[in-house]
Structure 1
């Protein structure tokens, strides 16, 4: 057998051995795994910081927490990972309380928890007593935040019957979280009808359900 035939034979053997190894040892290709979204819910104020105070002595901090807890339950039922910046009547940052430090700490928590989106819950107030209804603010300059705000705003409009276009805002906590972020102002404690609704547990549940619906619409977009 000449040299050329020997080389050709060895190449054939190596090729067969390679094909055998690939067939036997090739790892199966796993389908792409989409990580479960992480939603951070931020009930505004808390502890010595009451937020707005309604004419009937209603504290904003309590409304925010109640709706935030309802929202967290609804999202968890949909297999969403949820973290809350507070679950009781206390500010998340350590005392002594300072507003800016507290807001920065809430944003810090969201980053530590690797939030997919950040949803702050607040209750509005204004001196004229005329303004009414939920308003969704979004991190100024963020298209994704606007998309999230639009979905939540549309869902809230189906509950309240009042359509209010989402509004951009340069709010410290929304700017610092680094992910799509919104502030849902669920109503005005300076408006008598809003206040009577906001202290009603059934209405709070309806608001939480609408916010959850908007969040899910945003998370499921493109599917």
Structure 2
């Protein structure tokens, strides 16, 4: 039997192949390890970002809620309930709706959220005056309004000379009284009529329902007498309506600025 020949070149090639295979396996292992570590780092990073994003959204939402006060504007009457009728035939319901819509736009431009008890003259829920009051009180409750502003015009057909501005507040409610006083003072600056002062009812038996039964800080404004030619002329003009809306807007913003902290506390306690 011939002895086996030891082939050194073959042996070298074999060792080289084994070495290359081990290096390749090692490199693949390193690559997979790096890939896994990177994956977990990315995963953890996304988790932290998501948490941070959620926290940021909550903070933003909370801050927005605190700063964006809700104002419910109540244009008195509407539909078949015309309210007072002016000397020229104009209806209270139309004048106060125009002023209310102008007021709402001004408040929204100043960062307020505005809800209305009505935005037009068609009120499907209005069957009786009592139904109307119930719905007007329900709306600020549903929207958790901070302030409730009811806008009206007055009349006295037995005395056409009667004229003037008055603002009503909720009995024994200092917040309502303060708001009403600020509104009265800002409207008086327009100098279009007389000052009839702040008003409230003597007892709950003769209370104004939109004030007494309202948990929002409430005020009811009687802008003037439509039975008086001078008051009616001003309130029926576009300039007069715009001026009244601006004055009420400025009064509301002034009240909120002075009472921001208490308004936020009141909201948080509800």
TM-score normalized by the length of structure 2: 0.68
How far has the Cα of 1:164 moved from its partner? 3.6
Query: Could you list the runs of 5+ residues in structure 1 that have no partner in the other structure?
Result: 1-26
Q: How does 1:143-154 map to 2 (within 5 A)?
A: 143-154=174-185
SS of residue matched to 1:148: helix
Q: Describe the superposition over 1:172-210 as per-residue Cα deviations: whole angstroms up to 9, x where unpaired.
A: 111112121111111110111001111110111000000
Query: Does the 8 A contact of 2:167 with 2:220 survive in 1?
Result: yes
Partner of 2:103: 71
Structure 2 unaligned regions, length at least 5: 1-54, 202-206, 261-270
Question: Post-superposition shift, 1:222?
Answer: 4.8
Cross-structure match for 1:141: 172
Are residue 109 (structure 1) and residue 139 (structure 2) matched? yes
Match of 2:90 in 1: 58
1:132, distance to aligned residue in structure 2 (A): 1.5
Q: Find the aligned partners of 1:90 and 1:146 in 2 and give their Cα distance.
A: 32
Q: Helix, strand or coil for the counterpart of 1:88?
A: coil
Q: Between Structure 1 and Structure 2, whose CA radius of gyration is higher?
A: 2
Q: How far 1:35 sits from its partner (Å)?
A: 4.0
RMSD: 2.2
Shift of 1:168: 1.2
TM-score of the superposed pair, with normalisation by structure 1: 0.82
Q: Give me the whole-angstrom Cα distance separating, in 2, the residues matched to 1:193 and 1:171.
A: 27
Where is the helix percentage greater, Structure 1 or Structure 2? 2
Partners of 2:222 and 2:191 lie apart in 1 by 13
Greater relative contact order (Cα < 8 A, sep 6+): 1
Listed one character per residue, the Cα deviations across residues 124-175 of structure 1 (whole Å, up to 9, x for unaligned) are 1113122212211111121100010011111001112644421113201111
- Matching residue within 39, 49, 68 for 1:36: 68
Cα distance in 1, alignment partners of residues 160 and 122 from structure 2? 28
Matched, 1:197 2:197: no
| Match 1:132 to one of 163, 168, 188 | 163
Q: How many angstroms apart in 2 are the aligned matches of 1:101 and 1:149?
A: 25
> Aligned partners of 1:179 and 1:147: how far apart in 2?
13
Secondary structure of the structure 1 residue equivalent to 2:161: coil
Query: How far apart in 2 are the matches of 1:166 and 1:195?
Result: 21
Which of 222, 228, 231 is 1:185 aligned to? 222
Partner of 1:156: 187
